[in-house]
């Protein structure tokens, strides 16, 4: 037997209602906030991610699914949604004359990681991106959209943590402060962090290595190094969130995984799903679009991991909508009646009724058992007698009651039973 690849999962038919519920909630929220769906390719030129995610990130350093295609081009399966959305924006810039452009996506993403609960090699993200505004209202709108999404799913326990990591100017001063702090500890730290020390010391704060985390505990905090503009921007975002009654804490340790984040960064974190507690992360990336060659356009977005949301909802006993069950099962006593049942089922479906019939050649007894198993609300069995007189007994499964109904009236009968 050939097994499923490590770190991937099938969505089984029984899980579909849960996934569809989360996806529908995502679409509903995106739409009332004015975001339109985009779809970008599952693979892109590798360079898009090394530039757009940043070559000092874990994603680019360790986690990408990169390969040469038959034309010897290096391509990579998308590890996240932002870079592709930015490429789409830049490439179609002419079509977006009035900003902001507000886009959302539901997409698979691929990262070569060590699989654990809530950490997969293929996972799924719901994300929003807003291109064109550098104002605190844009940050607040995106954060509130994320908050609305989580609340609609019944996830009240995820805490919002926010931070500002400033602009190039504040970051340069902060990098110096971090370097002076980390320099004497370099030999206690992991090899990657020693590299980060040279290239992007901010990334050290995101290291998952215990030793590095310990050293980082007393590192200087970015919030003390913000320039006046960035500090005022951060105050603006916080005050809008307060005004809207959104609870948050400032966590100066949040730096996020991507290199091109600026100013606002945020995460929704839950302690209900163990180590993989971040269900949603986002931030502002005012330099990314120019990095990809699209000029000076500020942007902000977030992405939420669907598997982690489902895990969290499962752990908290969330109520999911039930999957659809047949409104009626039309059984038959013999081969000839089964043909009539087949036509009846087809007609009911044309009238938009979820109907089922026997496809397996089961006995009447087995058909009744099966109809019950799939949760059919009504059951009718057609035989020679029913077909000749044009009426049949329709059984309401919930109330164990039977009623004689004209076969030509079944559609009306079922539709009336809906209300
Ligand atoms: P982590 O710190 O847990 O590795 P991250 O910072 O790498 O997360 P992001 O790049 O911000 O994650 O991705 C956004 C969201 O996507 C995360 O908050 C999480 O819910 C989800 N996510 C990220 N990586 C995985 C994965 N390997 N498996 C499942 N979900 C993931
Ligand atoms: Mg990660």
Work out which ligand 1 atom sits closest to the CA atom of 256: 6
CA 12 to chain centre: 18
* Whole-prediction pTM: 0.93
Q: Is the CB of residue 306 below 6 angstroms from any atom belonging to ligand 1? A: no
Smallest CA separation from ligand 1 atom 8, residue: 278
With H, G, I as helix, E, B as strand and everything else as coil, classify residue 159: strand
Q: Given this model, what pLDDT does residue 257 score?
A: 65
Distance CA 134, CA 116 (A): 37
Helical pair 136-152 and 228-243, crossing angle rounded to 10 deg: 40
Enumerate residues 6+ apart whose C-beta is below 8 A from 401. 395
Distance CA 22, CA 168 (A): 37
- With contact defined as beta carbons under 8 Å apart, do 165 and 262 qualify? yes
Q: Given this model, what pLDDT does residue 61 score?
A: 85
C-beta atoms surrounding 98 within 10 Å: 6
Give the phi and the psi of residue 4 in degrees, each rounded to 5. -70, 140
According to DSSP, the β-strands at 328-332 and 378-382 are parallel
- Compute, in angstroms, the gap from residue 365 CA to the centroid of ligand 2: 54
- Compute, in angstroms, the gap from residue 278 CA to the centroid of ligand 1: 7
Q: Is the CB of residue 255 below 6 angstroms from any atom belonging to ligand 1? A: no
Q: Is the CB of residue 9 below 6 angstroms from any atom belonging to ligand 1? A: no
Q: Given this model, what pLDDT does residue 340 score?
A: 97
Smallest CA separation from ligand 1 atom 5, residue: 257
Enumerate residues 6+ apart whose C-beta is below 8 A from 29. 145, 148, 149, 152
Pocket-testing residue among 305, 307, 308, 310, ligand 1, by greatest number of atoms within 8 A of Cβ: 305
Smallest CA separation from ligand 1 atom 21, residue: 305
- Compute, in angstroms, the gap from residue 120 CA to the centroid of ligand 1: 9
Distance CA 391, CA 82 (A): 60
Q: Given this model, what pLDDT does residue 367 score?
A: 98
Residue 368: CA count within 13 A, CB half-sphere: 11
Ligand number, closest to the Cα atom of 119 = 1
- Compute, in angstroms, the gap from residue 307 CA to the centroid of ligand 1: 10
CA nearest to 279, candidates 246, 243, 316, 232: 316
Enumerate residues 6+ apart whose C-beta is below 8 A from 136. 233, 236, 237, 239, 240
Distance CA 264, CA 142 (A): 11
Smallest CA separation from ligand 1 atom 22, residue: 305
Q: Across the chain, what does the average pLDDT equal?
A: 94
- Contacts of the segment 178-182: beta carbons below 8 A, 24+ positions apart: 178/202, 178/204, 178/219, 178/220, 181/218, 181/219, 181/220, 182/215, 182/219
The ranges of the chain with pLDDT < 50 are none
Q: Is the CB of residue 80 below 6 angstroms from any atom belonging to ligand 1? A: yes
Pocket-testing residue among 115, 278, 288, 300, ligand 1, by greatest number of atoms within 8 A of Cβ: 278
Read off the pLDDT of residues 189-245 as tens digits, 9 standing for 90 and up: 999 899 889 888 888 988 888 999 999 999 999 999 999 999 999 999 999 999 999
The distance between the two most distant Cα atoms of the chain, rounded to a whole number of Å, is 95
CA nearest to 337, candidates 361, 355, 353: 361
Q: Given this model, what pLDDT does residue 302 score?
A: 98
- With contact defined as beta carbons under 8 Å apart, do 341 and 379 qualify? no
- With contact defined as beta carbons under 8 Å apart, do 271 and 295 qualify? no
- Compute, in angstroms, the gap from residue 277 CA to the centroid of ligand 1: 9
Using alpha carbons, list the distances in angstroms from residue 152 to 25, 182, 309, 407. Answer: 7, 43, 12, 43
């Amino acid at each position: 037997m050939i097994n499923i690849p490590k770190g991937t999962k099938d969505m089984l038919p029984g899980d579909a209602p849960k996934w569809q519920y989360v996806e529908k909630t995502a679409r509903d929220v995106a739409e009332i906030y004015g975001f339109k769906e985009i779809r970008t390719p599952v693979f892109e030129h590798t360079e898009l991610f090394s530039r757009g995610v940043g070559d000092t990130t874990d994603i680019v350093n360790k986690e990408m699914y990169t390969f040469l295609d038959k034309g010897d081009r290096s391509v990579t399966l998308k590890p996240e949604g932002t870079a592709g959305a930015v490429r789409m924006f830049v490439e179609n810039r002419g079509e977006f004359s009035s900003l902001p452009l507000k886009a959302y996506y539901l997409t698979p993403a691929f990262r070569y990681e060590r699989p654990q609960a809530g950490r997969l090699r293929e996972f799924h993200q719901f994300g929003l991106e807003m291109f064109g505004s550098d104002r605190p209202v844009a940050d607040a709108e995106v954060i509130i959209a994320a908050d609305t999404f989580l609340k609609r799913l019944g996830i009240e326990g995820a805490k919002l943590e926010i931070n500002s990591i400033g602009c190039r100017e504040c970051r340069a001063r902060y990098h110096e402060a971090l370097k002076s702090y980390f320099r004497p500890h370099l030999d206690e730290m992991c090899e990657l962090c020693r590299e980060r020390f040279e290239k992007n010391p901010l990334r050290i704060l995101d290291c998952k290595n215990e030793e590095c985390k310990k050293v980082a505990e007393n590192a200087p905090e970015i919030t003390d190094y913000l320039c006046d503009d960035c500090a005022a921007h951060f105050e603006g975002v916080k005050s809008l969130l307060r005004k809207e009654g959104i609870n948050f804490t400032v966590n100066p340790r949040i730096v996020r995984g991507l290199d091109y984040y600026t100013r606002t960064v945020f995460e929704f974190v839950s302690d209900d799903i163990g180590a993989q507690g971040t269900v949603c992360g986002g931030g502002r990336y005012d330099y990314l679009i120019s990095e990809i060659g699209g000029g000076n356009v500020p942007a902000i977005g977030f992405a939420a991991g669907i598997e982690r949301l489902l895990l969290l909802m499962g752990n908290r006993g969330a109520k999911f909508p039930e999957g659809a069950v047949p409104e009626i099962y039309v059984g038959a006593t013999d081969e000839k009646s089964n043909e009539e049942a087949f036509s009846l089922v087809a007609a009911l479906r044309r009238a938009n009724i979820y109907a089922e019939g026997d496809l397996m050649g089961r006995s009447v007894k087995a058909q009744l058992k099966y109809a019950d198993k799939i949760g059919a609300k009504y059951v009718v069995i057609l035989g020679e007698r029913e077909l000749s007189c044009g009426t049949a007994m329709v059984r309401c499964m919930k109330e164990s009651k039977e009623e004689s109904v004209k076969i030509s009236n079944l559609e009306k009968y079922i539709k009336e039973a809906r209300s």
